Amino acid sequence: MKEKIAKTNVARLLDKAKVSYELIPYEVDESDLSAIHVAASLGENIEQVFKTLVLRGDKSGYFVCVIPGEHEVDLKIAAKVSGNKKCDLIPMKELLPLTGYIRGGCSPIGMKKHFSTYIHKSCTAFPYIYISAGIRGLQIKIAPDDLINETKAEICSLFIE
């Protein structure tokens, strides 16, 4: 018998929106919360495992970037697409109070407040991608278009390829 996976807030929001997804558990390594570790644990292509980053722009305030796990967001590109002159990743201590999520469990869906969201354009090359389900140890397998619609995201380039 399959073990029942507890639904996260992200899963409940997707259910409410009638979006199809799959909850995929993985083994958490507290010493390695990277998306690269998550992809390896899932046995999936790292290009399909996306991480959620929260940034603060000098004009727009907070915004979210969702990028393939092995890449780093280019701050100049992120600033430009979000209408800022410059931006930075928020300090780790601000993540939980701002989003309701902890490092390694930050999802672009269901943050305390909706922030402008930018998803790297490579997501559209896949039938599905993985994002955090809102807790460490659980990913959501979702069609990119569903994620884009649910987060009202803009598709763009977020790093130099």
Looking at residue 1, what is its pLDDT?
47
* Interatomic CA distance for residues 86 and 75, integer angstroms: 7
pLDDT 10s digits, 2-33: 556 778 999 999 999 999 999 999 999 999 99
pLDDT 10s digits, 50-97: 999 999 999 999 999 999 999 999 999 999 999 999 999 999 999 999
CATH of 9-156, one of 1.10.10.60, 3.40.600.10, 3.40.50.300, 3.90.960.10: 3.90.960.10
Looking at residue 6, what is its pLDDT?
77
Q: Give the whole-number percent of the chain exceeding pLDDT 90.
A: 94
Tell me the average pLDDT of the chain: 95
